[in-house]
Structure formats: C-alpha cells, structure tokens
Amino acid sequence: MAEEPQTSTTELSVKGMTCAACVRHVERAIGKIDGVGEALVSFASEAATISHTSAVEPQAVIDAINSAGYQADFREAVVESSEDDPLKKDRVDILVAILLGLPTFGISMFWHPRPEWANWLLLVLSTPVIAFSGRRFFVTTYKSISHRTVGMDTLIALGTSAAWLYSTWALFKFSGDGHAQSNNVYYETAAVIVLLILVGKHLEARSRRRMSDSIRSLMALAPDTAILIRPGGKEDVVPLERIAPKDQIRVRPGDRIPADGTVADGESYIDESMLTGEPDPVLRAVGDSVTGGTIVQNGTLVVRIDRVGKETTLSRIIQMVERAQTSKAPVQKLVDKVAGIFVPAVIVTAALTFGGWLMAGGSVTDGLTAAVAVLIIACPCALGLATPAAIVVSSGRGAELGVLIKDSESLERAGAVDTILLDKTGTLTEGRPALVEFRAISGDKADLMKWAAAAEHGSEHPVAKAIVQAAGEGPVPEATEFNAVRGKGIEAVVEGRKIVIGSTRWAEELGADVPADSAELAGAGQTVMVMLVDGKTAALIGVADPIRETSRSAIQEMKDQGLRTVMVTGDSHSTALAVAQQLGLDQVEAEVLPEGKAEIVAKHQKTGTTAMVGDGINDAPALAQADLGIAMGSGTDQAMETAGVTLMRPDLRGAITAIRLSKRTIATIKMNLFWAFGYNVVMIPLAAFGKLSPMWAAGAMAFSSVSVILNSLRLKRFE
C-alpha cells in the first residue's frame, strides 16, 4: 500500500488584488499547480494560505501568482514599517489629482457655456490626472486582460478612458463651436472619478490597516533584546535571535520576558493580560512557567528559556490569529464565486445600457454617461470585503480577550451552538483535587494512608497526586507491579500486599463490598474511591475538586443565551449530580470513560449543534467530534490543533465570550452583505436609466467599501 504524500502549508502575502474577483483569479492560478490541495486567498488581509504536497516548491506557487499579474512573496511575521504606510505611497497621486482635478471640476460645473480655449484647458488639466494619478488602473487592466481576466480596475479604466476618449473626440468634432464642445466634453467626470477612487482606496487601506492592529500589537510584545547570563555570571545584552533553549536570562522590573521559560531564581508579580485578557497580575516564583511577552512588575527574575522563536506561546497565538484571518467562512466561498462572474456581467450590462439608450432614441452622450456610471457603480469592492473584514477584526479582538479562534468556520459555528457539553475536572472545577476524607474500614489508618500513597506514587492522575500530597513528606515504601487501569483506578504491590484503589463500580466488579456511607461522600460532591487490600475493602477515600469561582456565573450566562448545559464526567452519578445541583446544570452524563466522551458528543449532535469544552488533551477525541471544540487552559499545541477555540485563561466565561463574539460577527457579516448586495441592486438600475451621474457613482462606490470596513471595525469595541 503506497504511503500518502505528506502535506505542507505555505503562507504568502499577495499584493495587487483590487476586488473579490481578483481572489478567484489568484485561487485559480494556484489551483492549476499539480499537488496543490486547497488555496485560501483573503482580499481583506492580502494573504494566501496554500495546502500542498511536499513535492510542490513554494517558489512555484509564488511564480504562478506573479504570472497571473499579482505580486506574491513569503509572508513574514514582522510589524509593517512606516514605508508601508498607504498615505506615503498614494500622496503624490492624490495630490496631483486634487491640484488638477478640482480645477477641472470647477471649470466644467460652474462655467457654462465656455469658450473653446477653456475646453482645451480641461484636456490639459485632466489628462495628467487620468494618465499619471490613475495609471495603476490601466496597468492592472493591461495585466488582467493579458491573463484573460477582469477586475475592479478594469471597470474604472473602461469608465474613465471612455469619458476621456469621447470628450477628446468632441473637441475635434465641434471645433470652432465652444458651446457645442461644452455640451459634449466630460473631462471632469474622468478626473473626479480617479480622484474619488484614489481617496476611497486610501481610506480603505487605512481602515484595513486598523483591522490588523491586534496582530501588530501582539508582534510588538516580544522585546528586541535580552540580558543573557553567561557561564561565570557575566551578563550581556544580546539580540533576541541569539537566545536558545536552556539559556538563562535576567528580566528586570518593567521589562518584558523575551521567551517562554521557567523561573530559576527570584519571584515577581507578572502582568499576563496580553495572554489572558485578565488585568490582575499573578505571582510567579521558582519553578513556575512564564510566557514571553508578559511584563515583570516587581522583583528581578532569572528565567531558564524553554522555547524560542515560532515555538513560543506568543508566536503560536500570532500564527493562530493569522490563520483565522486568512481562512474563509462558508458564506465567503459563495460570495467569491459570485464576484468571479460579477465583473464580466457588469461589462455586459454597461454595453447593453449604451445600446439601449441608442435604440430608445437617446444621444450618444446620454448612453455613454449611463454606461460609464454602470461600470463605476458596480465595482464589487464592498462585496469582497463584507465577510473577511468582519473575520479579521473579530479574530483579533478575540485574541485580545484571551479567546483564540482557529478559523472562520469555527467562528461561524460558535454562533449556532445550542448545546454545550462541559468536562468537570479542570473545566468546571479548579482541576486540583484535594483529599478531604479517608475513612479506615479495616486496618490502621496510618498504615493504610502510607500504602495508598505508595501505590499512587507512580500515577500522574490528579486524584493520585492529592492522595500522595495528603500523606505528607515522610518515607513511603516502594511499590511494585504498578498498573493503571484506564477509567477505573490503579493496582500495585506494597510491602507484599496487593493494593487496589479505584471507583466504587470497579470495586463491585472485583467482588468487594462497598460501604453504604460512600453515598454520603458522593452526595457531598466528592469523588469516592475504594481502597482494597488483598481483595478486601480497607478504606473509603473522598477527594473533592473545588468548583471554580467563575463557573456558576458562566453557567448562568449560558442559560441566558439559551444554551442547554450538560456535564460529562467519569465520576459516579451521585457525585456528578451533587456538583450539577450546585451549578444549576441541565443534564449530567456520569461514569463516562475517556474514550466514551466522543460517543456522548455524537449522541447530543443528533439533537442540535454541540460544543464540547475540555482541557484539550484528555478530551481531544471529544473536542474533535464536537461541532465546536473549546479547549481550556494555557493553549498547548494539542489544544490549539484539536479545538476550534482555545481559551487562554482557565475561565469558562471565555466560552460565552466566543459564542457572543460569533453571533455579533455573523450579524455584522449579514449587515455588510446586505449593504453590498443591496447597494448594487439599487444603484445599477439607477445608473443604467441615467439617474446617477458617473461622479456620484464613483463617490458612492468608494463610500460603500469604506462603510463596510467601518461597520466591521465596530467589533473592536466588543466586550
């Protein structure tokens, strides 16, 4: 059986796209390469994410995009420099358009009829505006036509050149008759269209830059240098790139921690708001993990570096947000298909408009004016920005709030969730169980505690750690023949005795008696374990995991949102019901083995859209099975890859934040699409019937794109 080829992902920046139709052109060019699986191109973030086999060279993808008339390069996670400011790039073009275009507009609109020399002056004033300031539209159109495609710039180039060419023809046609010339020249139309489009594109570029403010602010969190402690104690300030794992660095008060690591010396309160969205600083001391980009508030720390570069938590957050911003929501894929045929349809409509006016007895001037207005008003910029603009802003805002969204599909699904399944340990509870009851049934309590600690010493289970911790720091005998039975408990031999510690159900399966007072402990919300010594019941162990302070309010918020809440746990029914009663949960799925959680998720999926909230490691199969997986915790690699949403702080309210953000984003997308489609549905007929001048069409087209972005930017105020 042949091995499946390994797949890789390449992320590129793509410049030169002017509308949603360009997205289709770029995707089509990439798709022609053998070995490419999927290409997702974002007009809003000017980026492309390509999945392909390892046999495909990334440079081949870049060459394919460049050959299609666009400019592609590797996308690097660096903050944009001031040289990339759209104002600096457009300043000269806009300045020329203003200095020459406004006089053209003034002479044409307020001096009528005019002498012949004034009309020739309009030619002189308007030509640099069209040929110099508007050159980008013609250059892009030439590239598009040479590749047998059309886009927004094609419409602008056709409209402005048609107005200029007709006006120039009229100058010669009516030479000697300044009044007739004045009635047939439309230089101001071409000049003002270029000016308005340039200003609109400039405002759009500035607004789009604001959409990615969250990414830039995250990138700026990593310091450029670090204080490296060399062998012997000498300290040097070195570039961040020279820091490697196992290096020790010094971080002074007020400085940002350069990379992920572990505190080797000192203690300090650290501002982790960039990571969790939580404003209160947390105390970190020797042995505690710290995250690159967080701020040391007081006290000096020596940190042993664990991860650098792209492996750090900050880099993974940036990568995840970028991936979300370049991914496509299902609705966007449909919009891109529509946009792909929209521009050719507009050109046909403009031609029919011109012919219709002539057939109806209208003048060439009237027909040309209406056709130009159709070409200009129908540019699908707003259509292409409607969905990705909202996605870019919302995913960035989510990151600021400590909610990482994997992709657009996850964001869209979150708003449709009606049932939310909740793992108990580490999700509803603190995840740090403590021994609260040890009832000796047969034998000396001290001996039993010592044997229990010895047996559990080899287990990594939280309950085992609670038992070992409760036994104290005294000597513990050695355990042999240790065996962990998944979902049931452990067994070992200690000082010649067979020790079994596990659930009441497992004890019954083994034929042991379970004391009746186990129900009392379970009723108090404790996880009850039975300890057997040589097959006989020796003790009852009660372990309790404190409920998180925020869990009650989170559950109430879920109910306020109309969600059905279900707890999924391996605990006994009585213990689970006790916890559920305290929290006000709707339903309990208890005594569920780890491998059975995915089946529980599948069962609930039959009745609605289901989200699963867990720790992202033990619950990975269930998170993958759910319509939306939400991982609690600090964002481990496995959690980020498995879940659609990762909560960067252990607070269940983050799940509600993700769901509310999704609903707000979907509402914004719908509003944007309504505006974009409605705008064209209303404006194109007005333009075709001569009710909308080309200048007003240019202004309205520019305003439509900016309005869609500004509407999306409202998501930055989401709380």
Task: Decide if 313 contacts 289 (C-beta within 8 A).
Answer: no
Task: Decide if 703 contacts 200 (C-beta within 8 A).
Answer: yes
688: helix, strand or coil: helix
Residue 132 CA to residue 96 CA, distance in Å, equals 8
* Closest listed residue to residue 550, CA positions, set 211, 288, 276: 276
Burial 62-84 (b: 16+ CB within 10 A, else e): bebbeebbbebeebeeeeeeeee
Burial 277-292 (b: 16+ CB within 10 A, else e): beeebeebeeeeebbb
Task: Decide if 715 contacts 672 (C-beta within 8 A).
Answer: no
Pairing of strands 628-631, 645-647: parallel
The angle at the Cα of 10, spanning 13 to 144, to the nearest 5 degrees, equals: 45
Residue partners of 568: CB distance under 8 A and separation at least 6: 421, 422, 423, 424, 589, 592, 597, 600, 612, 622
Give the residue numbers marked as catalytic. 423
Pairing of strands 610-614, 419-423: parallel
**For the CA atoms of the chain, what is the radius of gyration?**
33
Residue 507 CA to residue 453 CA, distance in Å, equals 19
* Closest listed residue to residue 126, CA positions, set 95, 148, 105: 105
Name 235's bridge partners. Answer: 229
Task: Decide if 271 contacts 306 (C-beta within 8 A).
Answer: no
